[in-house]
């Protein structure tokens, strides 16, 4: 099977030749630790892992990214506003002003290349006037929104043997980036009409983007970023979730399903037990990363929801760090879900630096045997 076929067959509860090998990947600080623990500096970590384990890494034809940009255009200027007491006060590309340790710089807020704690000071949308200005940054035909060779990229992707994904923010994630978490939650109570306007605008924008993509090539997977849960509870009530978020999810899922996209994958950290039923109602059929430390029980979820929800990741990173009997027991725990199908196991978030390179190799070898690669 090609990697594309294997991925789709697995997550649609069909009959893959083996389950995709996706153990999880390191952040920047993890790679630094691994290089000190035996990972050569001049090789790709996954290539080294595959060679160490004796796994033939699946090869695909040339990967062609579509290049459609769902982000704001133009972006805000990234800049340092102050430097004091071991911290920077910075403005990021989204217009947020926040404080971070000066061991990092503003580029760490551009992409999640490491685990960075920040303190939010100001967000770009605090009033309706701010919102009216923010909307101007989401012109679907803005220069840079689509690459000049977009049509040719789509034609090339139509003949793919790799998984074509399209990723974008869900309504909660996106509104939180505009308003900040506390600001958004207060708006949901004090200014619900404004929140409804923002959610509807985002639903329209993403739908228009997806239509233009699907008119040219149908993706295999749509990945929605929607972090909206704490360690034990969702960040907003089920009622608020259905009011402010579900209409977008339903519209996008329906459009994608009608176009022929088989996988609609929801990403949320935290405890998602309250959210999965709403996602299923909304047409979502895959979720990740199923963080164990947040109280998620992938085995219980499968008993409760059956094959209505496929899952990815779900291996406790804390067990990976401990290794030995602990990681073996952890992988034994998830075996029933793997046997039932609809599951690609891997680390339940980015691999942290307390997972040593030898421990990661050991865990990956066990995972490779479970998924049919060894």
SS (H, E, C) the chain: CCHHHHHHHHHCCCCCCCCCCCCCCECHHHHHHHHHCCCCCCCCHHHHHHHHHCCCCCCCCCCCCCCCCCCCCCCCCCEEEEEECCEEEEECCCCCEEEEECCCCHHHHCCCCCCCCEEEEECCCCCHHHHHHHHCCCCCCCCCCCCCCHHHHHHHHCCCCCCCEEEEECHHHHHHHHHCHHHHHHHHHHCHHHHHHHHHHHHHHHHHHHHHHHCCCCCCEEEEECCCECCCCECCCHHHHHHHHHHHHHHHHHHHHHHCCCEEEEECCCCCCCCHHHHHHCCCCEEECCCHHHCCCHHHHHHHHHHHCEEEEEECHHHHHHCHHHHHHHHHHHHHHHHHCCEEEEECCCECCCCCHHHHHHHHHHHHHHCCCC
Average pLDDT (229-254) is 96
Vertex 117 angle, CA 116 and 123, to 5°: 110
- pLDDT tens digits along 52-83: 999 988 777 888 899 999 999 999 999 999 99
Q: What is the pTM of this model?
A: 0.94
Average pLDDT (9-15) is 97
What is the dihedral sign for C-alpha 144, 145, 148, 150? Answer: positive
Share of the chain above pLDDT 70, in %: 100
Q: What is the pLDDT of residue 132?
A: 97
- CA atoms of 307 and 184, how far apart (whole Å): 34
Q: What is the pLDDT of residue 137?
A: 98
Q: What is the pLDDT of residue 108?
A: 76
- pLDDT tens digits along 206-235: 999 999 999 999 999 999 999 999 998 999
- pLDDT tens digits along 91-141: 999 999 999 998 888 887 877 777 778 888 999 999 999 999 999 999 999
- The mean of the pLDDT values for the chain is 95
Backbone phi and psi for residue 247, each to the nearest 5 degrees, phi listed first: -55, -40
Domains identified in the chain and CATH numbers? 3-72+125-370 (3.20.20.210), 77-123 (no CATH)
Average pLDDT (25-37) is 95
Share of the chain above pLDDT 90, in %: 90
Q: What is the pLDDT of residue 51?
A: 95
> Does residue 174 have a pLDDT over 80?
yes
Distance of CA 319 to CAs 22, 96, 294, 337, 351, Å? 17, 35, 14, 18, 11
- CA atoms of 161 and 1, how far apart (whole Å): 9
């Amino acid at each position: 099977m090609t990697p594309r076929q294997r991925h789709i067959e697995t997550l649609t509860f069909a009959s893959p030749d083996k389950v995709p090998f996706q153990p999880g990947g390191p952040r920047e600080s993890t790679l630094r630790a691994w290089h000190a623990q035996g990972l050569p500096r001049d090789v790709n970590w996954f290539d080294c892992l595959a060679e160490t384990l004796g796994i033939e890494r699946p090869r695909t034809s040339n990967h062609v990214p579509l290049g459609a940009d769902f982000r704001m255009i133009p972006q805000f200027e990234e800049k340092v506003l102050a430097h004091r007491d071991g911290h920077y006060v910075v403005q990021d590309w989204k217009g947020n002003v926040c404080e971070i340790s000066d061991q990092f710089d503003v580029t760490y807020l551009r992409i999640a290349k490491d685990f960075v704690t920040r303190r939010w000071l100001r967000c770009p949308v605090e009033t309706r006037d701010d919102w009216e200005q923010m909307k101007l940054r989401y012109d679907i035909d803005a220069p840079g929104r689509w690459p000049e060779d977009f049509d040719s990229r789509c034609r090339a992707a139509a003949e793919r043997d790799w998984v074509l994904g399209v990723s974008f923010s869900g309504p909660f994630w996106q509104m939180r980036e505009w308003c900040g978490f506390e600001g958004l939650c207060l708006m949901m109570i004090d200014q619900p009409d404004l929140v409804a306007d923002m959610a509807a605008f985002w639903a329209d924008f993403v739908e228009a983007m997806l239509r233009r993509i699907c008119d040219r090539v149908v993706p295999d997977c749509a990945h929605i970023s929607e972090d909206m849960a704490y360690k034990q509870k969702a960040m907003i009530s089920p009622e608020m979730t259905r009011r402010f978020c579900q209409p977008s999810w339903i519209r996008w899922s329906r459009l994608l399903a009608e176009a022929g996209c088989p996988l609609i994958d929801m990403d949320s950290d935290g405890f998602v037990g309250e959210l999965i039923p709403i996602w299923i109602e909304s047409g979502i059929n895959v979720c990740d990363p199923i963080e164990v430390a947040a109280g998620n029980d992938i085995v219980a979820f499968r008993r409760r929801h059956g094959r209505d929800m496929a899952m990815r990741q779900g291996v406790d990173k804390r067990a990976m760090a401990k290794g030995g009997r602990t990681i073996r027991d952890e992988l034994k725990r998830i075996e029933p879900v793997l046997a039932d199908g609809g599951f690609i196991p891997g680390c339940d978030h980015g691999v942290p630096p307390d997972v040593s390179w030898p421990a990661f190799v050991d865990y990956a070898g066990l995972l490779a045997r479970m998924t049919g690669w060894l």
